A and B are shown apart, each in its own frame.
Chain A
Amino acid sequence: MVTLQFVPYNEIEDLGSARRVKKLIDIVKENKIVLLQGRLKKEEETDLISIAMEEIGAKFKGIELAVINPEGKDKSGLKKMRNNFFGMLLGDRQGLTVIGPATIVKEIKKDPNKIELLTKEGKKKK
């Protein structure tokens, strides 16, 4: 059985970068797949990889990560600027970040507006 845990953005918005990343990693280490509303900052994404590496051990083998960003190429400059501005103030709530434990999630494929999550058991979920 696979457990998905939805994390709304407001659950992490008041946390500092280190605590945000730790909160997400802690959920993943419980063998749950995190569905985070929005996305982390770019620097936090690399922190997430670094922390995942530090945590690797007998039971935890790392993570699978995917971000779906709804920003299409057709978005006008003004819209992009507005989104960047609000993103800077309020955090990037657009899109969806999927983080799963590598022991359960074999691969995450983006296509680009849907996510295919291939689990180790070979089941396919959408």
Chain B
Amino acid sequence: MINIVRSFINKVLRGIFKKKKNFKLGLYGPPNGGKTTLANRICKDWLGQDMGTVSNIAHETREVQIKEEISIKSKGKELTFNLVDTPGIATKIDFEDFIKSGMKEKQAKERAKEATKGVIDAIKWLDEMDAVVIVLDATKDPYTQVNVTIVGNLQARNIPVLIVANKSDLKKADIKKVQAAYPQYNVIGISAKYGNNIDQFYEGLFAIAG
């Protein structure tokens, strides 16, 4: 009952303040799913510039990054939002994994320290979001506990969610598996790197922005 009342109040407040404040669209997901690559794709398409650096080594994004006032247009509609690119959410971080990726010990320890703070910040920012795109790597198991926990939390907070099955350009990508794991959500297969199916993704953004 408390949840129902809270959900109702959230919806009412969201409706009242949605037009007045800046709409925040968050990119969430596990490390190396392609959140920053997608953020760069969105920024390149609509602002003509990149948002952040990408890397094959996990936890490249260790601070929440915001790009303000992005306006996208589709089929006569316009949507303006602040894009929030968040560090990948993980349950464990070991500096030795970074050393295995070729880093020096000091650099690896620093990266691990920043990455743990990044995860905490990303979770704190959940409450600030008006809508969230969960970016999953379509070549990996979609049903990990981290993914389930992120989805469950957004559901509990009544935040609209769009799930992106990224890296569709790779042979191992299995979009249907991601769709089967989250049947209650709109799951769109894309390649943020090459822009495959990106128009459908933008349509999905309009849908979650209401």
Contact = CB atoms under 8 A, between A and B. Distances in A.
B15 interface: no
A72 interface: no
B93 A56 contact: yes
Interface in A47-64: 49-50, 52-54, 56, 61-64
Contacts of B89: 49
Interface residues of A, number: 24
DSSP class of B's interface residues: helix, strand, loop or mixed?
helix
Contacts of B94: 61-62, 102
Given A53-B119, A54-B116, A88-B3, A61 B143 contact: no
Chain A contact residues: over half helix, strand or loop, or mixed?
mixed
B152 A45 contact: yes
A61 B92 CA distance: 6
A63 B92 contact: yes
A5 interface: no
Given A43-B156, A54-B116, A56-B112, A62 B90 contact: yes
B119 A50 contact: yes
Given A54-B116, A56-B116, A49 B93 contact: no
Interface in A34-88: 41-43, 45-46, 49-50, 52-54, 56, 61-67, 88
A118 interface: no
Contacts of B119: 49-50, 53
Contacts of B152: 42, 45
Contacts of B141: 109
> Of B117, B119, B126, B145, which is in contact with the most chain A CB atoms at under 10 Å from its CB?
B145
Interface of A: 41-43, 45-46, 49-50, 52-54, 56, 61-67, 88, 102, 108-110, 112
Interface of B: 1-3, 89-94, 112, 116-117, 119-120, 123-124, 126, 141, 143, 145-146, 148-149, 152-153, 155-156
